[in-house]
Amino acid sequence: MLRLGTREFAAHEPVIMAIVNRTPDSFYDQGATFRDEPALARVEQAVAEGAAIIDIGGVKAGPGEEVTAEEEIRRTVGFVAEVRRRFPSVVISVDTWRHDVGAAVCEAGADVLNDAWGGFDPKLAEVAARYGAGLVCTHAGGVEPRTRPHRIAYDDIMADILRTTVGLAERAADLGVRRDGIMIDPGHDFGKNTRHSLEATRRLGEMADTGWPVLVSLSNKDFVGETLDRPVKERLIGTLATTAVSAWLGAQVYRVHEVAETRQVLEMVAAIAGHREPRVARRGLA
């Protein structure tokens, strides 16, 4: 059972986490949801399409203009409070690696801290424990936030992912983070080249076998673009193919830009796996 905010999710229940970037320079939407009203409209649409979690980010993942903790707080805290007011039952996640930002957004109503940089700030887990928030424990290869990997290598990428994410999850639990609120993430593209991310996907079942809920952030990532030689706006098909494979191998939470399309893929995979019934079943029955 995965418990986030006021929501509970069964073991085989797929969970969609919709991305809402509060940045003027995000790689995917180039700042389309930087202002409040477009961002709130995005939340409303994502919830209507089936997202259970809204993941709010105040700093883009890649290199760029410096964003201080104070500026990150300014971009996220008020928005978290407004989303909580308008959508009281939605799970609110905030994508941050900074403990001071984590504390501020939890005060405003956030339910989950999405630590995409693999415990770079070890105090972030302490904040999650203090506020009773969920925590995403990610493999980022030990790189500093907002940097790209350079000639990075692993003897065994999945062994490194397991050692890192399970270690972070167990540390978080020891600090007092609820075990049913902890997720592990292989960190596609983070501290990895394309072949690393492909192997992490191929071996995702090894993460699911740990018993920790697995979150994947695949949406329009560079490893999809390089694999198919497609620019950012032409990576949806590759993303959905990777989503289907990840679902089959046991991932549970999906951080995405395209909610409706992802939901259809996840429902289809769940039906094939025998975890849900078809929405209608008329063929051959009349």
Number of C-beta neighbours around residue 222 at 10 A: 18
Q: pLDDT digit string (tens) for 174-192?
A: 999 999 999 999 999 999 9
- Catalytic one among 75, 98, 221, 235? 221
Q: Which residues of 267-281 are buried (b: 16+ CB within 10 A; e: fewer)?
A: bebbeeeebbeeeee
pLDDT at 27: 64
Q: How far apart are CA 45 and CA 261, in angstroms?
A: 13
Q: Whole-model pTM?
A: 0.96
pLDDT at 131: 98
The predicted model gives 14-21 an average pLDDT of 97
What CATH number labels 10-273? 3.20.20.20
pLDDT at 29: 66
Q: pLDDT digit string (tens) for 77-117?
A: 999 999 999 999 999 999 999 999 999 999 999 999 999 99
- Catalytic one among 42, 60, 235, 255? 255
Do 97 and 124 contact (CB within 8 A), yes or no?
yes
Is 221 labeled as catalytic in the residue annotation? yes
Do 224 and 238 contact (CB within 8 A), yes or no?
yes
Is 192 labeled as catalytic in the residue annotation? no
Q: pLDDT digit string (tens) for 132-170?
A: 999 999 999 999 999 998 999 999 999 999 999 999 999
Residue 24: pLDDT band with limits 50, 70, 90? confident
Q: How far apart are CA 148 and CA 191, in angstroms?
A: 7
Token pair recorded at residue 175? 């600090």
Higher local confidence (pLDDT), 265 or 149 = 265
